[in-house]
Amino acid sequence: MSHFPKKIILLGATGSIGESTLKVLRKHPDKLKLAGIACDKAYGKLADICEEFDVPNATVYSKEAYQHAKVSGSFQGRNLNSGMEGLIELAGNVDADIVVVAVVGTLGLKPALAAIESGKDLALASKEILVMAGIFFTKAIKQANVKLLPVDSEHNAIFQCLHGESSDSIEKIILTASGGSFRDRALDTFHLIRPEEATHHPNWAMGKKITVDSCTMANKGLEVIEAHWLFNLPPENIRVMIHPTSIVHSMVEFTDGSILSQMSPPSMTFAIQHALLYPQRAEKTEPSLNFEKSLKIEFFPPDIKRYPCLQLAYDSLKIGGTGPTVFNAANEVSVESFLNKKIAFPDIAKTIEKTLESCNNFEPDTLEEVLEADANARQTASQIIRQP
């Protein structure tokens, strides 16, 4: 039995995952308590969270925003830190049971390792950690004997479906995807897609970058790579299916032909609550599916011509080594350039492909080598984008 209240550290408290996590904490104040929170720049929102939840420890990553936070008077009586050192201090040294890693990009790598090494369970929402450094994190998790609890709705669904099952009974896992905003748009108009169109999702409320990733299905490619590390499966045993209504979050097919799925409305609170309270369950934070009304459930395979980024993710996983790191870095640079109107929507995939071809692949021995490969891939992708 788990002890309550569980003490939570939330890295990325002011983002969309952070906001959903706070909803769960409001619903279950007797079971979950915030011990520390972190943000990048939004120190005003962070101060409000500290006040509402009486949080004793906070980190503002941006040095400039930290200076403003210090003189604002909003954090009096609380431990306030900044930078990577502050994130590592929060994740590694503050007394807590679970660290929720929901920061964007590579910022979560070192704090997540610090959390594991200090014996804390990890509720993982940041895709980059397993995509870039899966081999290091899975090894660290085993050595520390802590839990790695997936927060992504798809991986959390698989995690639930596999409860009590033996690994040798798995035939394949099937990740579902909405297909994004351009699922039915004519391919010959993709070069006309504007950033403001690509940042609106039909089902989910998410940040701009991940919403664009949903349109290209790069996000699903990253989830395939994550699933490889989370569930120790080869790429050929990880499938993707388009499921427009985002009700079935993923499925597992077993060797006997049975298929289990996990269903809930398209809200992150369901996966987050499951991860934070695991192995216990409690009253839902938001309304569940209403079976008094008809539910449309359909699946169809993705068209790679429409979603080339998905195939590129599979390719990077099969390459191995730093391949997934290069894929992730090139995608981030490309999406940022698209949002800044420097490249067209189809150029996202083209830039990723050229970057994968240009970067030398190797098996990294340290986290520092992973970060070097990431930096090199970003530089390469930026150079490709600047070429006429």
Buried/exposed 301-314: b ≥16 CB within 10 Å, e otherwise = ebeeebbbbbbbbb
Same structural domain, 30 and 164:
no
Q: Are residues 200 and 97 in the same domain?
A: no
Residues 180 and 95 in one domain: no
- The answer to whether residue 320 scores a pLDDT higher than 80 is yes
Q: How many domains does the chain have?
A: 2
Rounded mean pLDDT of 219-224?
96
**Same domain, residue pair 77 and 217:** no
Both tokens assigned to 330: 């090139």
Per-residue pLDDT, 205: 61
Residue 349 resides in a domain: yes
* 139 domain-assigned: no
Q: Is residue 71 part of a domain?
A: yes
Residue 325 and residue 210 share a domain? yes
Q: 47 and 128 in contact (C-beta within 8 Å)?
A: no
Q: What pLDDT, on a 0 to 100 scale, did the predictor assign at position 103?
A: 92
**Gap between the Cα atoms of 340 and 72, Å rounded:** 32
pLDDT tens per residue, range 139-169 = 999 999 999 999 999 999 999 999 999 999 9
| CATH code for the domain of 207 | 1.10.1740.10
Is residue 343 domain-shared with residue 240, that is, in the same domain? yes
- Token readout for 166 is 């033996």
The pLDDT of residue 209 is 87
User: Rounded distance, CA 134 to CA 328, Å?
Assistant: 13
Give the total residue count for the chain.
388
Kindly report the backbone phi and psi dihedral angles of residue 39, in degrees, each rounded to the nearest multiple of 5, phi listed first.
-140, 175
Q: Are 296 and 374 in a shared domain?
A: yes
pLDDT of 65-105, one tens digit each? 999 999 999 999 999 999 999 999 999 999 999 999 999 87
Q: Which of 126, 147, 175 is the last residue of a domain?
A: 126
Question: Which of 174-178, 179-183, 290-294, 384-388 is predicted most confidently?
Answer: 174-178
Among residues 6, 49, 221, 53, which one has the least CA distance to residue 130? 221
Last residue of a domain, one of 104, 126, 148: 126
102 and 179 in a single domain? The answer is no
Q: Which residue has the higher pLDDT, 3 or 342?
A: 342
Question: Do 49 and 11 sit in the same domain of this protein?
Answer: yes
Q: Are residues 81 and 168 in the same domain?
A: no
pLDDT at 370 over 70: yes
Give the pLDDT band of residue 128 (cuts 50, 70, 90).
confident
**Residue 14 within any structural domain of the chain:** yes
Closest CA to 118 of 97, 142, 87: 97
> What percentage of the chain carries pLDDT values higher than 90?
93
Residue 146 located in a structural domain: no
Structural domain boundaries enclosing 121? 6-126
Domain boundary among 72, 105, 126: 126
pLDDT, one tens digit per residue, over 231-289 is: 999 999 999 999 999 999 999 999 999 999 999 999 999 999 999 999 999 999 999 99
Give the residue-averaged pLDDT of 111-118. 97
pLDDT given for residue 105 in this prediction: 76
Backbone φ and ψ for 174, nearest 5 degrees, come out as: -125, 110
Residues 175 and 90 reside in one and the same domain: no
Average confidence (pLDDT) over 199-222: 84
pLDDT at 127 (0 to 100): 86
pLDDT at residue 1 in the model: 45
- pLDDT tens profile 324-340: 999 999 999 999 999 99
Shared domain check, 262 and 184: yes
Provide the pLDDT confidence category of residue 206 given band limits of 50, 70 and 90: low
Q: Is residue 183 part of a domain?
A: yes
* Cβ density class 86-117: b for 16+ within 10 Å, e for less: bbbbbbbebebbbbbbbbbbbbbbbbbbbbbe
Q: How buried is 386 (Cβ within 10 angstroms: 0-12 exposed, 13-18 middle, 19+ buried)?
A: exposed
The answer to whether 115 and 38 are in contact (CB under 8 A) is no
Output 317 or 128, whichever has higher pLDDT: 317
CATH code for the domain of 78: 3.40.50.720
Would you say residue 181 has pLDDT above 60? yes
- 200: pLDDT confidence band, cut at 50, 70 and 90? confident
